[in-house]
Structure 1
């Protein structure tokens, strides 16, 4: 992958659009007399999601839950809690959107370590590479997976013809891959590229943290349940894997349904290391919303159905996205900037899988060439 610092956006491409949009959004918070950070609703959600993950685990480890059906239910609840922590709590915190106090953000951002991840690697991949260079070939790690084709600029291999069928399996394995391999691979890679240093970390310190937190996670979440629960060891392992698979599938579906779609654009840098649009216009061309107005769904997935607003204002807590979305949409229309949206989550998901099929079979390449 190329060094991300080589990407330059076109500052002459409608700079007044984002200037005016930012002014209007800031005015919204001034007029309402509210902060852009978390409110009581977000605090309640934080307690709820963390509890949804920790309490079932405590009930199992303490021996309170003994029946097989109840144990399976506990793992299912943990999967929901795991997803909620990823969508809402650690996501906002690692963007610095939870609180104006960096220590609060750091503490809540580290909650990802409770579910098997590593917060520093997540910040680098998501905040630095994905948010800065959305859908840019060889710079956005979310579309440079190698085993699937998410961009027309990637080489098309024969196996990709079937990616629409094996995608759900790989998506479900996402958090397991984070746990056993990805964080180790990324720590080495980010060290070589100087991205760990930019976070104020040495390679030794980062790798030590990764190893120790992974060991602690496996002991608490897998080894102890195998030793304590009244199930055969492989049954507990199966429950553990099912928890991860359901969480990984849900996370992937939500995030992929915002960027790899039929209407979104894909870019690669030119000879001078530039892309054609300004950063704000680029975000709107590569991102889409879905299921706006579905309040409970939006609440559970951390407002990530408002991906356009999130990519333009990642430092604003997601609880405010439904309120600023009309401002963003109206301003985009006024300046002739695209604002992509799908009426439902399933419509976005259908578009994503249609795009996977087109990319895998080469139909999208032929469409571009026509």
Structure 2
């Protein structure tokens, strides 16, 4: 896929990263040390037995409660909500700790295994092809670059970059943003794939008209399938008022959307992170690896439970520098990355806890809402 971005919704330009000698040395030494780590420990960069267990666990956590609901085995409202919430936890685990690695190609040496495990995203009504463009290409390549990183492409009432046009309503975004975070997965499995397919067609990723039609058809099919077994069949089968089932379903998505949003946003929309603009020639001042360190932050590096559940995404720096490495290795590799960054006097941003990361994210949102 070509390295392109949309500028002012009209002109497509190229973005390039500088290659200074010092930064090239950092990148080369880091890659060398990572290779040495895997050789010394006689292991590989892919998933291990623990990752396979997590895959089975998260998919089961998502599907089993929905199967119970589809079979009409629940008759009480409290148990209905419990089933949906458990399924929501599974959805979160699939999104952050299963399909994420697979669609990066870091789950297995075998392409087909990566592909089929990555298709677990389809279980939750999303399109794997669209996600790979949005995340692997646009977000990972152009992190925190306005008009290029699609994670910054938000409705006008949300301002996630100092380079985004300011509106007065942004003054309150640190208060109301949490509600919209909760809508993330619901919007995703409803309309966002369709919006992105058309946007990526304009960007040149789906170049041919038949490619667009195929992706749109896939999106429709996946969403009909998802809504069918997660909502419609339970409404038909359960002896509970349909509106109660809908509320429970929406509650599941709100919980899941809020948690996933916070996990990802506390890695990039932080007071310590940079939001660089390319110059008139499309050049970014930093080498790509250094750019990732400047625009990304870790948090809660000592929390094993959180790290396990969110697929190592608290080690976002390692993930961005080494996206082809499975997250089960991030904790140990973080020592190598931080020490190498220190050697070359390159900032390595990390928050001590998840709570402190959320607090810093809150401050950044408030700051972005005050500066015109």
Above 0.5 in TM-score? yes
Alignment of 1:93-104 (within 5 A): 93-104=102-113
* Correspondence for 2:173: 163
Report deviation, 1:100. Answer: 1.1
C-alpha distance in 2 between matches for 1:32 and 1:201: 47
TM-score normalised by L of structure 1: 0.95
C-alpha distance in 1 between matches for 2:13 and 2:329: 31
Report deviation, 1:32. Answer: 0.5
Deviations 1:106-134 (A, max 9, x none): 11111111112111111101110000000
Deviations 1:149-190 (A, max 9, x none): 011111110111110111001100011111221100111111
Structure 2 residue 347 is the aligned partner of structure 1 residue 325: no
* Correspondence for 1:368: none
Indicate which of 248, 263, 267 corresponds to 1:254.
263
Is the CA contact 1:53–1:77 (under 8 Å) kept in the aligned structure 2? yes
Indicate which of 107, 117, 124 corresponds to 1:115.
124
Alignment of 1:1-370 (within 5 A): 1-2=6-7, 6-12=14-20, 14-146=23-155, 147-197=157-207, 202-362=211-371
Is the CA contact 1:92–1:317 (under 8 Å) kept in the aligned structure 2? yes
Q: Does the C-alpha gap of structure 1 residues 115 and 279 become closer, same or farther in structure 2, counting only changes over 3 Å?
A: same
Is the CA contact 2:75–2:240 (under 8 Å) kept in the aligned structure 1? no
Off by >6 Å, runs of 4+ in structure 1? none
Report deviation, 1:286. Answer: 0.3
C-alpha distance in 2 between matches for 1:186 and 1:143: 13
Report deviation, 1:66. Answer: 2.5
Report deviation, 1:5. Answer: 6.2
C-alpha distance in 2 between matches for 1:43 and 1:141: 30
Q: Does the C-alpha gap of structure 1 residues 201 and 352 become closer, same or farther in structure 2, counting only changes over 3 Å?
A: farther
SS of residue matched to 1:211: helix
C-alpha distance in 1 between matches for 2:170 and 2:125: 29
Structure 1 vs Structure 2 CA RMSD: 1.5
Is the CA contact 1:4–1:129 (under 8 Å) kept in the aligned structure 2? no
Is the CA contact 2:102–2:117 (under 8 Å) kept in the aligned structure 1? yes
Report deviation, 1:4. Answer: 7.3
Report deviation, 1:306. Answer: 0.3
SS of residue matched to 1:66: coil
SS of residue matched to 2:152: coil
Segments of structure 1 that go 5 or more residues without pairing to the other structure are 366-370
Q: Does the C-alpha gap of structure 1 residues 30 and 4 become closer, same or farther in structure 2, counting only changes over 3 Å?
A: farther
Report deviation, 1:204. Answer: 1.2
Deviations 1:183-208 (A, max 9, x none): 0011111112211349x981111111
Q: Does the C-alpha gap of structure 1 residues 32 and 4 become closer, same or farther in structure 2, counting only changes over 3 Å?
A: farther
Report deviation, 1:315. Answer: 0.5
C-alpha distance in 2 between matches for 1:142 and 1:60: 34
Residue-pair matches, total:
362
Is the CA contact 1:291–1:343 (under 8 Å) kept in the aligned structure 2? yes
Is the CA contact 2:91–2:124 (under 8 Å) kept in the aligned structure 1? yes
Report deviation, 1:62. Answer: 1.5
